A = this chain, B = another copy of it.
Amino acid sequence: PRKFYSANHDEIMAGYTTDIYFVKTRDLLKENGSLDVPVVAEIFSKEAGVFAGLPEVLSLLKDKGVKVYALEEGMSFSPKEVVCRIHGPYGAFGMYETVILGFLASSSGWATAARECVKAANGKPVLCFGARHVHPAVAPVMERVALVAGGCTGASCILGAKLAGAEPQGTIPHAAVLIIGDTVKTAILYDSVLPEQESRIILVDTFKDEAEESLLVARALRKKLDGVRLDTPGERGGVSPSLVQEVRWRLDMEGFSHVRIVASGGLNPEKIRLLSQAGADIFGVGSYIAHATPRDMTMDLKVIDGTPIAKRGRLPGIEENPRLKRFL
């Protein structure tokens, strides 16, 4: 019996996740003798964004006998700009329209949101903590693309980070602190089991006020403490600029200037900007990236058997775009 409802790689490859009408189309065109007519298809989005998802499209189309031109992974695109063009017999790729657009829409949505956060942080590290917001089948897709195309510095999802060629990053969750029963005790234990080269960053909002707990932890680990993570829940006002400023001030006052402040919890580009000004050093972003609206992609046939054509509402024939590069 099937464990989960997500499609495995071989199911995607076999076309099981496409829309049924592309299968019907194949039958129809076969009957009509035009299944393998040479066509040119172009893909664009109505909104601007950051282009991503291409490697999966190329994996899908490799050895299908088509030529593929596209922007490079991570390039920005304008509204209605052609981001990908496919030349080949319709039968060779037409059935995958749904799949190709799905790869690009999802990944470009996440990459665009990640890029906005990275720009707001203006050089300070941004970590992607979005895995809990999406189905686990795509969590690694999202976290990988946030790093590779969006510019994030790290990701907490194990497989996502690995696919991006990085080590997964993170601290310890509230659960650990609650079970051990005391933040300082948890910090000391954490320090004792963690490999020496890894960062000691402690979550400080489980039991006590963040300013108090930051100092208690800093006094316990001293030079070995790399950072404290503020993740104040909405029920306590969230992480605010004045909280960051106060924690910074109190740490500095006791000589803990080396301790960095990691902020997380409902961050978005605007909050990142404000918290950065208030003194935060690292930003953990979840929902803003994970909830990104997909960048809807449209694929239009623009040339059929050498003739420029298009459905009503679109411009027939190829729309030149010198930024495209040949990949297949």
Contact = CB atoms under 8 A, between A and B. Distances in A.
B208 A22 contact: no
Interface centre among A6, A22, A101, A233 (most CB of B within 10 A): A6
A101 B173 CA distance: 14
A221 interface: no
Given A7-B159, A98-B132, A312 B211 contact: yes
Given A31-B189, A134-B294, A168 B20 contact: yes
A76 interface: no
Contacts of A16: 140, 158-159
A163 interface: yes
B179 A304 contact: yes
A99 B138 CA distance: 11
Contacts of A232: 237, 313
Interface in A253-277: 253
Contacts of A5: 55-56, 140-141, 144-145, 163
A134 B106 contact: yes
A32 interface: yes
A102 B20 contact: no
Interface in A211-239: 211-212, 232-238
Interface residues of A, number: 129
Contacts of A313: 232-236, 242, 246
B59 A3 contact: yes
Interface centre among A20, A135, A249 (most CB of B within 10 A): A135
Interface stretch (A64-72, A116-124, A285-293): A285-293
A44 interface: no
Interface string A171-188: 111111111110000100
A94 to B, nearest CB: 6
Nearest 9 CB-CB pairs, A to B? A237-B237, A21-B170, A235-B313, A20-B168, A233-B313, A17-B136, A235-B242, A19-B156, A16-B159
30 contacts: A2-B163, A4-B12, A4-B56, A5-B55, A7-B159, A8-B8, A11-B159, A19-B131, A19-B158, A19-B168, A20-B168, A20-B169, A22-B173, A25-B173, A29-B176, A46-B234, A98-B132, A102-B139, A105-B133, A106-B133, A107-B135, A137-B137, A137-B141, A178-B304, A178-B309, A207-B312, A209-B212, A209-B312, A249-B315, A253-B308
